């Protein structure tokens, strides 16, 4: 079956899904996006994702392209038409199509694109069983990374550098050696005392939806959390290290810049967080 996308009011074949060449998302990266995991026939944490979308749109003064009540219907329909039981649904909103000018156009209708694709949960579990590697790169992004903007070129370059180094993620690092976040994930460590540590999300990182849900998972498992910065050196000396995102949940890190974390194998606390995640996350029927 061919893939189906939603583009500005129409469901079209993915191969023929296009936006105008003067869409401001294409011209200026003037837009935002969200990615929701689809798992076991449910869209995971959709209300929180839509809440963050609302914040991103508000911060950039972009109107909703459809009403907030209609967007979940479109998302579910795209998931249904693509027969996705496990995978993801991606939505992108831009300021719309207008003659190329830096200032905001007047009266332009925002553009909306929604796509969905399948994923193999067994492959993801296999990856979690062996863990992944990260490298570190100096922070070079704009200051408003709390907005989930489509302007991701620094992230692209960082993740390409990770791939070339045989790693699967790159961490952005402040000049003082403090870890910020990954190219597409939040960063966590677990201390020798079993305390979960992650950087506060008030400034400098994206407030991950999976990150937020993992706080609730940790409470259910009786784990302590500290929101504070941590250095690369502290991460390398940690009991466990992991990343979180909608597409990885809690993914163990087994090496940082080529140095093994602990014994070089995924840790039990990270895996327990991962396995308990769907018992806590909000699940909306797809």
Residues designated as active site? 148
* Long-range CB pairs of 252-255, under 8 A, 24+ apart, other chains included: 252/128, 252/131, 252/132, 253/131, 253/132, 253/133, 253/134, 253/169, 254/130, 254/131, 254/132, 254/133, 255/131, 255/133, 255/134, 255/167
CA distance 220 to 251: 19
CA distance 54 to 57: 5
- Cα distances (angstroms) measured from residue 191 to each of 80, 195, 234, 235: 42, 5, 9, 9
DSSP annotation of 16 reads G
Question: H helices within the chain, ranges in order?
Answer: 24-28, 46-59, 71-81, 121-130, 153-164, 209-221, 232-236, 268-280
Q: Which strands sit side by side in the sheet containing 10-13, from one edge to the other?
A: 10-13, 4-7, 111-118, 87-94, 31-39, 42-44, 283-285
């Amino acid at each position: 079956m061919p893939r189906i996308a939603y583009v500005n009011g129409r469901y079209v074949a993915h191969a023929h899904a296009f936006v105008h060449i003067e869409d401001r998302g294409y011209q200026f990266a003037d837009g935002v996006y969200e990615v929701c995991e689809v798992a076991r026939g449910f869209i995971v944490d959709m209300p929180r994702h839509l809440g963050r979308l609302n914040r991103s749109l508000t911060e950039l003064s972009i109107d909703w392209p459809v009403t907030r009540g209609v967007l979940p219907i479109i998302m579910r329909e795209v998931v249904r038409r693509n027969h996705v039981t496990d995978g993801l649904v991606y939505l992108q909103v831009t300021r719309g199509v207008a003659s190329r000018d830096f200032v905001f156009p007047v009266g332009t209708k925002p553009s909306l694109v929604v796509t969905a694709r399948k994923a193999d949960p067994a492959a993801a579990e296999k990856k979690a069983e062996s863990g992944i590697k990260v490298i570190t790169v100096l922070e070079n992004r704009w200051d408003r990374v709390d907005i989930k903007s489509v302007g991701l070129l620094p992230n692209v370059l960082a993740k390409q550098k990770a791939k070339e180094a045989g790693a699967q993620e790159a961490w952005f690092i402040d000049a003082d050696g403090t870890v910020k976040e990954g190219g597409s994930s939040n960063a966590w460590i677990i201390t020798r005392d079993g305390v979960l540590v992650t950087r506060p999300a008030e400034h400098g990182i994206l407030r991950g939806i999976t990150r937020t849900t993992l706080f609730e998972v940790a409470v259910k498992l009786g784990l302590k959390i500290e929101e504070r910065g941590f250095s690369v050196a502290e991460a390398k000396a940690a009991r466990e290290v992991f990343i979180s995102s909608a597409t990885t949940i809690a993914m163990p890190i087994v090496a940082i810049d080529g140095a093994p974390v602990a014994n070089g194998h995924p840790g039990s606390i990270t895996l327990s967080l991962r396995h308990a995640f769907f018992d806590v996350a909000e699940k909306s029927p797809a």
